[in-house]
Structure 1
């Protein structure tokens, strides 16, 4: 592998973008049903509860990535991602907005925060991603975050679907999705620039692509757990 020439910048970019285009969880049957209005209230609530387990670990994985950086400028930039989710004060940030989504769907925040209803498969998927960011080099940890390339599109679709099909959830509960449209685009551009700069050999490029594929598998596995839970007797 070390003797193989690296892809050019455009070819590498295309390969990275192709991963979420082909494997992002917007293609999962559960999300397809969600966006078509086919979920019951119980299914929507189950998804909110279990997805929150992932949401609350986003700043954890970003802190693990930030700790790998030697450049203070880069650390300050990546710190923004933690602030986006944790907020600068109580009552602010993406985690708070997800709690409000839960409340709008009739789920008490204490129920969400307890984590008592999180499915084993969801715990395994989230643990796998957090540990990946803890153990893998900066390049691969950052490359895994490039699922954000597809985030703006799925967030727009989700807002429209919830407004059309799930009106029982108040409009204020959709703030998280709306905010992530802009945040996801900005974060994806930042991460893409880093990956393109850091992956200089073909081996490094292939590891970056594999890391992104792994992250897609994490998100897909999370939805597998949520969907199959409804089929249990």
Structure 2
């Protein structure tokens, strides 16, 4: 008599989430893990950073800012249609500008100058922390190596960015009046750009992720991007003694 157990049938694939549930899960990642909860950002928005801490953040965050059009160029190259590529190319122009003296990177340089950081020092990147370099390289390589769905899903931190920008503008105007008001132009511009960009990216992700595996990969990609931003702030926060204001 053959007493061998019958083979276990393969598990049925999980049912895809409904579009509403999928979107809710994506938004939940931002609510739970976006860097608005990081202690450094909380201290920034409470007015508890000294000038050197704030300048250190500006210098290191600029290393991330200047790589945004790089990762967007990598995403653009993966997109299958002219319409999608034109849409994503706009993001590169938003940061690089249509000509010299325009764009988000230029506005961040002006933020640095308004806070007393030399423009050439920002561009040289000599003071960028190793942990920040690793975090930014990790994100750029993710966009280079992962499929379009995941690369675009990682950009969905933009869902949370407009609210953060509004909070930051209010905090800088209230607590850091030594920074020239013109330096806040980057934050003001990103409120509307972030809302537009996140809507476009969310529509793509909801359309492209057709089964449960793809949906879960998109959620994991967004969680990875939150980890990148969190790691960047970890490096900045631990870099040196906190100056008392």
After TM superposition, the score normalised by the length of structure 1 is 0.98
Instruction: Decide which of 112, 116, 127 is 1:117's aligned counterpart.
Output: 127
| Alpha carbons of structure 1 residues 103 and 201: separation in structure 2 relative to 1, 3 Å | same
Distance in 2, matches of 1:88 and 1:39, equals: 34
User: Where do 5+ consecutive residues of structure 2 fail to align?
Assistant: 1-10
Deviations 1:45-88 (A, max 9, x none): 00000000000000000000000012001000100000000000
Aligned-partner Cα distance in 2 for 1:150–1:231: 30
Equivalent residue for 1:224?
A: 234
Which residue of 2 is the match for residue 138 of structure 1?
A: 148
Preserved contact between residue 52 and residue 112 of structure 1 (Cα < 8 Å): yes
Shift of 1:2: 6.9
State the alpha-carbon separation in 1 of the partners of residues 64 and 116 from structure 2: 20
Count of residue pairs the alignment pairs up: 232
Q: Give me the whole-angstrom Cα distance separating, in 1, the residues matched to 2:68 and 2:52.
A: 25
Residue of 83, 93, 102 corresponding to 2:103: 93
1:214 aligns with 2:228: no
CA distance in 2, matches of 1:208, 1:179: 27
| Deviations 1:29-51 (CA, angstroms, capped at 9, x unpaired) | 00000000000000000000000
Are residues 3 and 117 of structure 1, via their aligned partners in 2, closer, same or farther at CA, if it must alter by over 3 Å? same
Residues 1-233 of structure 1: pairs in structure 2 closer than 5 A = 3-231=13-241
Unaligned ranges ≥5, structure 1: none
Q: Separation in 1 of the partners of 2:117 and 2:12? A: 52
Between the aligned partners of 1:165 and 1:148, the Cα distance in structure 2 is 25
Aligned 8 A contact 1:2 1:201 in 2: no
